[in-house]
Amino acid sequence: MIENILRIRDLSVNYQTNRGILKALRHVNLDIPKSSIVGVVGESGCGKSTLITSIIRQLDDNADIPNGLIEFEKQDLLKLSKDEMRNISGTKISIVFQNPMSTLNPVISIGRQMIDIQYRDQISKKIKKQRSIDMLTKVGLPDPHIQFNQYPHELSGGMQQRVSIAMALQAGPSLLIADEPTTALDATLEVQILKLLKELQEELGCSILFVSHHLGVIAELCDHVVVMYAGQVVEQGSTYEIFNKPAHPYTIKLLECDPASISKKQRLLPTIPGEIPDLINLSKGCIFKNRCSQSIDRCSQETPIWKEFDNAHFVSCHLTES
C-alpha cells in the first residue's frame, strides 16, 4: 500500500451569503500519495480554490466546515490551532500561485524576499543567501548572482514564476500546491515550467497538488487526476485511466469538449448544454443530472455514492454501478 501524504475525507465547506448557505464543497474525498503529482481539473466555480484554501486553512470568515477530515502526515489539519498551522504552512506545505507578479512584493528585491522567508532558520545571513542562490540556480534562472539583487518587474513572467517556485520549494516542503501556475504564461514557457516542476519533484521527492483547467497540462504532468464538478469530486483515477477510460458522464463530456481532442477540422465545436446548478438551492439526486444525456429516474431520486469502479479508479455515478 502506498502511503498517502494528504488524505481528505468527507470534507464539506459552506459559505454564508446574503441569499443563504452556499454549499461550495460537498463530501470531498481525495488522496495524494507520497512523491506523486495529483491534478485537479474542473470548470471555474467548481470549488478548486475553496479546496486549496481549506487545506492551508485560509478560508474566508464567512466559511465554515461542518464535517470532514484533512489528514496531513498523520495529523488532522482542521484540529490544529492557528500557531500549529503556521508552523506547517510555508515549511511542510507551500503554494505557487497563478499570477507571479502579485505573489512577489514589487518594492523588495528578489534576494531580500528569499532571505526574508527563511526567518525561521537560526543561521547567518550569508548561508541564507547562498541557499537562495542555489535554489535560484536549481530553477534555471540565468545569472542568479545578478538576478538576486533585481526587482520583480525587471524579470519576465516566466522568470518570475521560476522565482516563486524557488521560494515555495526552499523550505523543502513535502506538499507543494500549485494553483494554475502556468495560466499566465505563453505556451512555450508553459512547457518549460512544467518540465521544471517535474524535474524538481523527482529531485526533491515532494508531492504536488496541481490545479488547472487545462486538460493538456494535467495529462502531461500528473500521475493521478481528480475531476471536480459543482463542489463535488465526481471521478478520481490515474491519468491514463481518466483520459482513456473516463467513467463519469461529466468527464466524458469535458474531454469531448476540448478542441484538442478533435483531430478532424470541424466548425461546430461540442459544448455541454445547460448551466452549472445553483449551489444554494441544491435539488435532490445527482449533481450532474440536468446536463447529463444519459440520466435515468434514479438520478433525480438518490445521490450517487462514491465507489471504486475499477482498480484505484473512483467515480460517483449510478450508471457505472450496473
Choices 49-57, 102-110, 119-127, 217-225 (CB under 8 A): range interacting with another protein = 217-225
Query: Which C-beta is closer to another protein: that of 106 or that of 273?
Result: 273
Sign, CA dihedral 112-115-118-119, equals negative
Contact assessment for residue 21 and residue 15, using Cβ atoms and an 8 Å cutoff:
yes
**Site membership for another protein, residue 277 (CB under 8 A):** no
Write out the H or E segment, with its range, that includes residue 67.
Answer: none
Task: Find where cell 488524505 sits.
Answer: 7
Query: Which C-beta is closer to another protein: that of 271 or that of 311?
Result: 271
**Site membership for another protein, residue 270 (CB under 8 A):** yes
Report the C-alpha dihedral over residues 96, 62, 20, 281, rounded to 10 degrees: 30
**Site membership for another protein, residue 266 (CB under 8 A):** yes
**Site membership for another protein, residue 40 (CB under 8 A):** no
Candidates 69, 117, 204, 257; binder of another protein (CB under 8 A) is 257
Query: Which C-beta is closer to another protein: that of 90 or that of 231?
Result: 231
- Backbone dihedral angles phi then psi of residue 69, each to the nearest 5 degrees: -140, 130
**Site membership for another protein, residue 146 (CB under 8 A):** no
Exposure string (b/e) for 99-112, b if CB count within 10 Å is 16 or more? Answer: bbeebbeeeebbbe
Candidates 219, 226, 247, 299; binder of another protein (CB under 8 A) is 219
Interaxial angle between packed helices 157-169 and 187-204, expressed in degrees from 0 to 180 and rounded to the nearest 10: 20
Q: How many other CB atoms sit within 10 Å of the CB of residue 85?
A: 16
Candidates 37, 206, 255, 292; binder of another protein (CB under 8 A) is 255
Residues within the interface to another protein (CB under 8 A): 43-44, 156-159, 186-192, 194-195, 213-220, 243, 253-255, 257-262, 265-272
